[in-house]
Structure 1
């Protein structure tokens, strides 16, 4: 499991190692000549895949592509790194008129509403129905995010959740039970107070909009109206409801009590502080697990736990982060069908096992957990079981399916600004969130008018 955060990349500078922030000098994944095999007629259908996975993730993609190409005589996939999610999406927009774009593209989860509204895609449901593809073999809690009005518009590819990481060694020293991590806001506060001594601060949470979205879902609370934008397009932000106010008040109080450290928006900074033993509790993506455990080494024992929530919260859970694969509808039908064959290949247990062990992203296929490579990896990193349990414990609802809106990248940054205003004492939780909700709602209104034209 890599050090990369699998959530959407709104703030491109958040993590120096965030997926998709690697320079364009990364390998493109163009198949080598020896892997190209032609049919007797010499016809080969080419599939172009735009993705945002740099570094080691890009190498894993190259290997998946090479494996597919070597086993298919009539289809050849070319995977091309296009920079960050935002950069790739902008390139796709520019390519629509010229039809110079890809056959399929990887898009972050918060780009879902835009992709549907763009009318530039062929819903994956079309191929699923034609092929009678069995969706029950895939994880329901992952599919639910990308399902709208009973249709699956894209196929999930890289998926993660946030979890709580804690220092078991410091828990023992503070007289806390390392096998019973805090589960509620009040319990986190109490643990942080006990841990804040001898140069250690109890906790530090990045001021990251993705975390706030997750705190809403974990309380069974919706982030925008109209069923989180799923029964009909969202028209109003619900960022200033009780779920948000209560969460920011809790975070602010811990900072004021000096049992939590404010290190800003970057999860890289909270991660470094945790690895160094300077803070005892933090939040990060499940895809960061291997990087954190490897960086800690034998300095202390790393524990993992579910995302905390208020003691009086409604039933909720976590929302998937990461990205999915969309089929572009301006490509020939034969090319789209060839891309569908590649997507089915990626969903196979063996390929999902490879992807999981090389990257730390969840397998989307249930039987991948039966693969020896995954089982061996789970033994090496038992903390990942927490991530799997949290995903499976989440009950699908409008709240846990996740909010969708066409201005989600902007909304996430607005929320981060509100979080900063509260933590630094510039505004109260209610005032900051009232302003944020109003700002987001205005942006939604402008977007909806644009889409309606």
Structure 2
């Protein structure tokens, strides 16, 4: 069995966000004797994930290939368990009951769950092993924006795996027919395009429903410190209130978005966004880059679609769109062999070659910086430039441009969706919309903190 030989690397600074030299601990009762071991043969690890459909098949292939190659060589077998979207609650249950036998070794966790997950004594921050003297895996293998996405209280908690960003999808044929030779770059331009395209028979100029995800992107893209909430959007410490209503970013967005609403070509509810775009009903749509694979399949043989950066709220904005998605987080079952085997699998799953296959199959952005230099990836991007847009948008975004860790994101999503629907339908003014979003979200955050101390 080949030894796992790993050399020292202190985590990169990430614009001063991640310190060097200290063991990472995220809870007062956490053990600090986690360590990589050279020999972890004869180990089976359990991987809890939330991937289904074609994405689930792509993940299963990664696990299968690992088990048949590197895993076989190192004496490791990975077993997967689909947990849908209930991973966080199930991990918390396993932790509270100390159910080591039925617990996982790796969990796929969305960024918004990191504040609560990281407090569990069984969670080992990725920072711990990035700093381990035996670790070959270095933080410099990943984009700064992605490491920041899964950093909480200045510690990298999870290793980036499936990440995406919000893109503007557009029907190139329809835009050309309307006299446009490029995608709109600002919301003001977006409104003008929407108006003209919406005058075509049977065509909506733009379809997108402004919910939490969309609103957050328009807020954080304005300037580096345009955080949605306090404590740097809940990344330095738990978020206690929204600040986007105080710094002018929410008002600025609503002012510009009113132009889209008034264009006459805007559909503000998403019914079947993929299918409607693919059939030419919607000329433009704001959708996650994770939908690229599906959109490509649905539009093949029908028309040429392209993707573009998220339109800026105003031309002077500097930060760019945020990153969404999940990371791989280590769960300690009092066995350094299992932790070492889990780290070995994470190293494999996020390696350049594996990320190339993963990205091409799913549309997720490759997390490893070396992936884009691979000949097969460069060829793929030449043939599918729509996929490269997400990577380029990620690279040009400021590391501080991130989704918030807002603790009650599901409630805030409903609040934003309801208020923005009323705004689009003329039932709320711009000022009333902002007040409803801020007041109701702050109330939800207050109730969360009262219930959870």
Which of the five TM-score ranges fits, normalised by the shorter chain? Answer: 0.7 to 0.9
Give me the whole-angstrom Cα distance separating, in 2, the residues matched to 1:441 and 1:433. Answer: 12
Match of 1:128 in 2: 130
Match of 1:214 in 2: 217
Match of 1:433 in 2: 434
Deviation at 1:279, TM superposition (A): 2.1
Where do 1:17-166 residues align within 5 Å?
44-71=42-69, 72=71, 73-83=74-84, 85=85, 87-96=86-95, 97=97, 98-99=99-100, 100-130=102-132, 131-132=134-135, 133-166=137-170
Q: Is the 8 A contact 1:192 1:259 kept in 2?
A: yes
CA pair 95-231 structure 1, distance change in 2 beyond 3 A = closer
For this pair of structures, how many residues does the alignment match?
Answer: 403
Match of 1:229 in 2: 234
Deviation at 1:439, TM superposition (A): 2.2
Deviation at 1:79, TM superposition (A): 1.0
SS at 1:231 equivalent: coil
Aligned-residue RMSD, C-alpha = 2.2
CA deviation profile, 1:399-430 (whole Å, cap 9, x unmatched):
x0332132223222222222122122222232
CA pair 198-405 structure 1, distance change in 2 beyond 3 A = closer
Give me the whole-angstrom Cα distance separating, in 2, the residues matched to 1:62 and 1:209. Answer: 30
TM-score by length of 1: 0.83
SS at 1:76 equivalent: strand
Aligned: 1:367 with 2:370: yes
Q: Is the 8 A contact 2:209 2:417 kept in 1?
A: no
CA pair 153-253 structure 1, distance change in 2 beyond 3 A = same
SS at 1:280 equivalent: strand
Aligned: 1:295 with 2:298: yes
Q: Where do 5+ consecutive residues of structure 2 fail to align?
A: 1-38
Give me the whole-angstrom Cα distance separating, in 2, the residues matched to 1:332 and 1:342. Answer: 16
Aligned: 1:335 with 2:338: yes
Q: Is the 8 A contact 1:164 1:284 kept in 2?
A: yes
CA pair 201-62 structure 1, distance change in 2 beyond 3 A = closer
CA pair 376-393 structure 1, distance change in 2 beyond 3 A = same
Match of 2:200 in 1: 198
Give me the whole-angstrom Cα distance separating, in 1, the residues matched to 2:189 and 2:154. Answer: 39
SS at 1:366 equivalent: coil
Q: Is the 8 A contact 1:273 1:279 kept in 2?
A: yes
Q: Which has the larger displacement, 107-116 or 351-360?
A: 107-116
CA pair 329-405 structure 1, distance change in 2 beyond 3 A = farther
Give me the whole-angstrom Cα distance separating, in 2, the residues matched to 1:446 and 1:329. Answer: 31
